[in-house]
Chain A
Amino acid sequence: MKTAVIVFPGSNCDQDMYYAIKDGLGEEVEYVWHAETSLDGFDAVMIPGGFSYGDYLRSGAIARFAGIMPAVIQAAREGKPVLGVCNGFQILLEAGLLPGAMLKNKKLKFICKTVNLKVENNNTLFTSLYKKNEIIRIPIAHGEGNYYCDDETLHMLKTGGQIVFTYDGENPNGSKANIAGIVNRAGNVLGMMPHPERAADALLESSDGLRLFQSILNHWRESAHAAYTS
């Protein structure tokens, strides 16, 4: 599996993402600069955290129009796994690949700590190696992670099983329905505020995040095998 890690001016979790895939997962990975226009040859796309374009205007608003974004949208339409973490989640929202928007954290503070997440849906290509309702430990680090959507969208997310992760216990940022991560309707685009790439090695307090990347790899192997045998 060959994975692209998109790098914007102001991305700062790109190396963590690269490390998690290369050393944690043991798979091929390359940085792709935001001004590139093609993702040909990549099997999965990661949009890392950080402060793309200094969070000017709104988080993710300017990155959404970067040269690489049409290729990201194309990859999403083709059903390739697309993961946006933190600022990456904000970019996916701004790009309209996921519904809703981010507001400033309810208590206005930047929060950086490890939280308990509940796996609400393990029937996705990102979460197949977790158990349903399993509690996992993943760090968050954001000032604008207060997920917002209207009631109609929330109903759609709930009935469609699109809420993948929720905060267990205290909600750190005031997000609607304790949402920490959602997928699109097709299930191949995941946006999440917590950082699985920062919890992909036992040395980093938790390795719970590694199974997310392993789930993506399993999915890729199965679909590659299915394509080979069909």
Chain B
Amino acid sequence: MRKVKVYITLKESVLDPQGQAVMQSLHNMDYQNVKNVRIGKYIELEMEDSADINQQIEALCDKLLANTVIENYRYEIDEEVHS
């Protein structure tokens, strides 16, 4: 079994009103040094290892986990996990 970590972020061209609201709150707390906030999603999968695991991950991200009209994704495959 492999642990797969998927990071989903909004594309640069897409405004992130949630991130803007969080940044405003940080500024109100006097963290003026925060210059931008973008909110995304982090998803962990435990998957059976296979020769085409990369293709499988990309297919399931393209089909379901991410909406590639508005989101980008990247992923990491961790070492063997025992569950």
**Which B residues lie within 8 Å of A100 (CB)?**
69
Contact A61 B67 (CB under 8 A): yes
Name the interface residues of A33-65: CB closer than 8 Å to any CB of B: 57-58, 61-62, 65
Spot the interface stretch: A102-110, A127-135, A178-186, A200-208.
A102-110
Chain A CB within 8 A of B1 CB: no
Contact A149 B69 (CB under 8 A): yes
Q: Which residues in chain B, 1-20, are within 8 Å of chain A measured between CB atoms?
A: 13-15, 17-18
CB distance from A30 to the nearest CB of B (A): 29
Determine if A105 and B67 form an interchain contact, defined as CB atoms under 8 angstroms apart.
Answer: no
B57 at the interface (CB under 8 A from A): no
> Which residues of B from 41 to 74 have beta carbons under 8 Å from A?
64-65, 67, 69-70
Check A101 for interface membership: any CB of B closer than 8 A: yes
* A93-B64 Cα distance, complex, nearest whole Å: 13
Is the CB–CB distance between A148 and B70 below 8 Å?
Answer: yes
Contacts of A146 in B (CB 8 A): 17
Residue A170 at the B interface, CB < 8 A? no
A191 CB to closest chain B CB (Å) equals 14
Given known A-B contacts A106-B17, A107-B17, A57 and B65 have beta carbons under 8 A apart? yes
A104 touches B67 (CB 8 A): no
B70 touches A103 (CB 8 A): yes
Query: In the complex the two chains form, is A103's CB within 8 Å of B15's CB?
Result: yes
Residue of A nearest to B67 (CB): A101
Q: Which residues of A contact B64 (CB under 8 A)?
A: 57, 61-62, 65
> Chain A: residues with CB nearer than 8 A to chain B?
57-58, 61-62, 65, 93-94, 99-101, 103-108, 146, 148-150, 174
Interface residues of B (CB under 8 A from A): 13-15, 17-18, 21, 64-65, 67, 69-70
Q: List 19 A-B contacts (CB under 8 A).
A: A57-B64, A57-B65, A61-B67, A65-B64, A93-B69, A100-B69, A101-B69, A101-B70, A103-B17, A103-B70, A106-B15, A106-B17, A108-B17, A146-B17, A148-B69, A148-B70, A149-B69, A174-B15, A174-B17
